[in-house]
Amino acid sequence: MLNELVEQSPPLPGAPGARCLDVAVDGWHALARDAAAAGARLLALWANPARAHTAVLAAYLCDRAVLVAQLRLPAGETTYPGIADVFPAAARMQRAAADLAGVRADDPDSRPWLRHAVWPSAYFPLAAPSEDPRPAGGPPVDQYPFVRVSGDGVHEIPVGPVHAGIIEPGHFRFSIVGEKVLKLEQRLGYVHKGIERLFANTKLLDGHRLAARVSGDSAVAYSWAYCQALEGMSYATVPARALWLRALALESERIANHLGDLGALGNDAGFAFGLAQFSRLKELWLRHLEAALGQRYLLDFVVPGGVTRDVEHERLASLGTCARTIVTEAAVVRAIYDEHSGVRDRFVGAGTVAAELAKRLGLIGLAGRASGQACDLRVDLPCDPYKELEVNKCGREEGDVAARVAVRFDELFESLRLVGNLVKHLPQGERRVSVAVPPPGSAGVGLIEGWRGPVMIALSAGADGCVARCHPHDPSWQNWPVLEHAVIGNIVPDFPLINKSFNLSYSGHDL
């Protein structure tokens, strides 16, 4: 049934295989059931408020396609059928849509998610006219009813939202007995920045800069997804050289993040040597990246129609040499991680997410691949130039910290291999073409496999060359709730290690 719907649905500009489908109220939940039965994944759920009607949208990652379903609510209607019983990851997305757009799912959990008393409960930022200022002064802080665990010896440890160092804010409430965790409940949204409302005041040809700053460690993935949607709406043909340079930047971003995380994971296991070595290798990579592409962190490298700058042959060769050096040195440190009894004792069996649970909860991206969820858009739904690069998909079945570390190592080496090929076979040609402003009312979707997992942008054009609506989606939306399950039965001191093995984004989640 789902495959037939996908084939019959009109194409949507942007990501390969993207299609759109209008759904009636009585078919919304049925479509979710059909999608789950067909093995599809929920990519995102959001709301588009408008004067005439509000639309609720859900994006499903199907077999070789992305289906964006749209439910148009009648004027004045503010409720719709929830799908959290089918896709548990939808619960927080639905709560965020309620806070931002004023439309509520009929699922039981109706607690606020993003508001944190920053604006009045009757004010909905995305539904208000873009020129209207936010009302001054919010209501008293909500009484947020955490789920309580009772019994002999059970007590709570509230952590955050303010943490030590420069970590972003999030509240974690542990219910424990002795040192073992019985339940963890998170509350996020403390770094809500109003990104989606800011997009509405942005020119379409400038929106890539804001997209790159949704989550700074995934700047290339977000800006590429935005440009992919925009270029599809404008029917622009991006030069092959620009696409290969984008892939080089994306794999470079993946390499930098994996190097940093592998060091931090060693440090959280009490192995500071690992932190020192991977910090050194990350700094080496970032210096060569700056020399080749002009920035250590590529916030403004991907632009509509291509990339901001070309790269000299000598710089490319140097980047390839650096990649080979890191392969050799990282392999040595990996062997030490594998053989060090103290590190193995902390990694193996900690924070396990079984494959069946991962599938049920919608675990996605790198963490999903460590729990038997073999989905990588670079392989399964590749955009150019990944169709030519023949990416090797990495994965494990065990689902513990050790598995997530192993996937990071495997993906690090695979990205370093891809960089070598990209440098060696980079085609000649232009680095950028002009992109026309798409007409008002046009819409597109961008989808790129970032280092955490699929990054999605849903974009629609408004008047005067401005964005009407842009919804960016980070895979952390799906994966934060799974972390609550991963820590059950583990001791409290292992939480930082388990948390780091996922390394989810606060900023990309708290739009």
Instruction: Tell me, yes or no, whether 446 and 347 share the same domain.
Output: yes
Tell me if 269 is assigned to some domain: yes
Residue 75 has pLDDT above 90, yes or no: no
pLDDT bucket at 67, cuts 50 / 70 / 90:
very high
Name residues whose C-beta falls within 8 Å of residue 508's C-beta, 6 or more positions apart in sequence: 214, 215, 218, 472, 474, 476
Instruction: Tell me, yes or no, whether 334 and 199 share the same domain.
Output: yes
Sheet holding 65-73, edge to edge: 18-23, 65-73, 54-62, 41-48
Model confidence pLDDT, tens digit, residues 245-282: 999 999 999 999 999 999 999 999 999 999 999 999 99
pLDDT, residue 509, reads 87
Instruction: Tell me, yes or no, whether 360 and 498 share the same domain.
Output: yes
pLDDT bucket at 237, cuts 50 / 70 / 90:
very high
Instruction: Tell me, yes or no, whether 209 and 338 share the same domain.
Output: yes
Total number of domains in the chain: 2
The number of C-alpha atoms within 13 Å of 427 and in the hemisphere containing its C-beta is 16
Model confidence pLDDT, tens digit, residues 128-166: 776 677 776 666 677 788 888 888 889 999 998 888 777
Q: What is the CATH classification number for the domain harbouring 249?
A: 1.10.645.10
Tell me if 355 is assigned to some domain: yes
Q: What is the CATH classification number for the domain harbouring 14?
A: 3.30.460.80
Instruction: Tell me, yes or no, whether 206 and 97 share the same domain.
Output: no
Both tokens of residue 379?
């392989």
pLDDT, residue 163, reads 83
* Residue 198 main-chain phi, psi, to 5 deg: -65, -35
Residue 103 has pLDDT above 70, yes or no: yes
1 vs 320, which has greater pLDDT?
A: 320
Instruction: Tell me, yes or no, whether 202 and 92 share the same domain.
Output: no
CB atoms within 10 A of CB 30: 14
> Average pLDDT in the 160-173 region?
86
pLDDT, residue 63, reads 87
Residue 50 has pLDDT above 90, yes or no: no
pLDDT, residue 167, reads 81
pLDDT bucket at 7, cuts 50 / 70 / 90:
confident
Domain boundary among 86, 105, 124: 105
pLDDT, residue 77, reads 87
Instruction: Tell me, yes or no, whether 100 and 216 share the same domain.
Output: no
Lowest-pLDDT range of 110-124, 229-243, 291-305: 110-124
Tell which phi-psi region holds residue 91, choosing left (phi > 0), alpha (psi between -120 and 50) or beta.
alpha
Q: Which domain holds residue 487?
A: 195-502
Instruction: Tell me, yes or no, whether 349 and 463 share the same domain.
Output: yes
Tell me if 291 is assigned to some domain: yes
Tell me if 29 is assigned to some domain: yes
Instruction: Tell me, yes or no, whether 227 and 89 share the same domain.
Output: no
Model confidence pLDDT, tens digit, residues 468-480: 999 999 999 999 9
Q: What is the pTM of this model?
A: 0.96
pLDDT bucket at 121, cuts 50 / 70 / 90:
confident
Domain boundary among 76, 105, 134: 105
> Average pLDDT in the 301-312 region?
96
Share of the chain above pLDDT 90, in %: 82
Instruction: Tell me, yes or no, whether 243 and 350 share the same domain.
Output: yes
pLDDT bucket at 290, cuts 50 / 70 / 90:
very high
> Average pLDDT in the 50-67 region?
90
Instruction: Tell me, yes or no, whether 381 and 267 share the same domain.
Output: yes
pLDDT, residue 494, reads 95
Residue 352 has pLDDT above 70, yes or no: yes
Domain boundary among 105, 135, 160: 105
Tell me if 110 is assigned to some domain: no
Tell me if 114 is assigned to some domain: no
Chain-wide mean pLDDT for the chain?
A: 94
Which residues, in sequence order, are bridge partners of residue 244? none
127 vs 223, which has greater pLDDT?
A: 223
Tell me if 142 is assigned to some domain: no
438 three-state secondary structure:
coil
Name residues whose C-beta falls within 8 Å of residue 58's C-beta, 6 or more positions apart in sequence: 32, 42, 44, 45, 68, 69, 83, 90
pLDDT, residue 131, reads 67
Tell me if 154 is assigned to some domain: no
Which H, E and C letters describe 394-422, residue by residue?
Answer: CCCCCCCHHHHHHHHHHHHHHHHHHHHHH
- Letter string b/e over residues 181-207, b meaning 16 or more CB atoms within 10 A of that residue's CB: bebbbbbbbbbbebbbbbbbebebbeb
Instruction: Tell me, yes or no, whether 356 and 473 share the same domain.
Output: yes
